[in-house]
Amino acid sequence: MTRILEAELAVTAQCELAEGPVWDVSRGLLWWVDILVGHVHTVDPVSGARTSFDAGDPVGAVGLTRSGGLVLALVDGFALADHDGQRLTRVPGFSIDRAALRFNDGKPDPWGSFWAGTMAWDETGSPPGSLYRLTPDGVITELFGDVGLSNGLDWTDDRRLFYYADSTSGRVDVFDTDPDTGALSGRRPFVTVPRADGDPDGLTLDAEGCVWLAVWDSGELRRYTPDGRLDTVVRLPARQVTSAAFGGPDLGTLYITTARQGYTDADRRQQPHAGDIFACTPGVTGRLPFLFAG
């Protein structure tokens, strides 16, 4: 039987589009972005202390670096910054058409690079987006195109599998990866979310190799075993569930981001905690986040 859990309110964030949570082990902080307004947030779950900075542009994702700084996917390119957002510097020589596309979700990979994908502003998948990789020496490569809405991504600990969600397709796909280089091959469907249920959004893997998938417009975070079986559903009082990350001293707390994008006043009254951060303890731990080596 599918296990049902309930998430509890962790942070009254009231973001329009909270996304991309990541746990900062060295500082004991949870990071996330509010994409469209371009804000990068942190919270200390112990003290409740919060910080934020304005990236100056919409920001699709934030990652941590091995040197203690940040790597960012801004609206049309990549950037590096200090941990407090100071000395934000764009990676030169690359940009996408920001009038038609924007960067969305992204993460550092096990090899020290940073991956992030794009989507059309109108969210119809036209023009198509792509998935890109930024290497530590500043080289940016398009890994593949024909993406509708690039979303959740993560790798297994043995570096042999890569999970990737294209929301427009309604699927999470899995690739084989070269454990030495990260090269992709053998793309195939992992799970399909029925259109009536919502859209696959952000995702993270736990220490058992299971996939926790945020399902947009469902009010649910879903856990799938490596063979694609649904075994746990976390319910939230906000329908626009966007992503999740494990955190806390033992990596045993699952933090879940939500949104209220396009909501009317009536929608916000009905879902007053849409755009907040939620948490639950599912009885399984996560893994340390991968770090960008640049």
**66 assigned to some structural domain:** yes
**286 assigned to some structural domain:** no
**285 assigned to some structural domain:** no
Q: Which of 111, 108, 131 is nearest to 24 (CA)?
A: 108
**CATH assignment of the domain containing 17:** 2.120.10.30
**Domain ranges, residue 208:** 3-280
Q: Which residues contact 132 (CB under 8 A, 6 or more apart)?
A: 115, 116, 117, 118, 140, 141, 142, 143
**287 assigned to some structural domain:** no
Give me the number of domains the chain comprises: 1
The alpha carbon of residue 203 and the mean position of all alpha carbons in its chain are separated, in whole angstroms, by 6
**292 assigned to some structural domain:** no
Would you say the pTM of this structure is higher than 0.95? yes
**10 assigned to some structural domain:** yes
Q: Point out the residues that are catalytic.
A: 201
Give the sheet arrangement for strand 171-177, strand by strand. 150-155, 161-166, 171-177, 184-192
> In a structure prediction context, what are the per-residue pLDDT tens digits for the chain, which is 294 residues long?
899 999 999 999 999 999 999 999 999 999 999 999 999 999 999 999 999 999 999 999 999 999 999 999 999 999 999 999 999 999 999 999 999 999 999 999 999 999 999 999 998 888 999 999 999 999 999 999 999 999 999 999 999 999 999 999 999 999 999 999 999 999 999 999 999 999 999 999 999 999 999 999 999 999 999 999 999 999 999 999 999 999 999 999 999 999 999 999 999 999 999 999 999 999 999 999 999 999
Q: Which of 273, 288, 243 is nearest to 61 (CA)?
A: 243
Task: List alpha helices for 41-96, DSSP H.
Answer: none
**291 assigned to some structural domain:** no
- Rounded to whole angstroms, what are the CA distances from 222 to 16, 20, 23, 242, 281? 22, 16, 20, 12, 14
**293 assigned to some structural domain:** no
Task: List alpha helices for 210-264, DSSP H.
Answer: none
- Count CA within 13 A, CB hemisphere, residue 136: 12
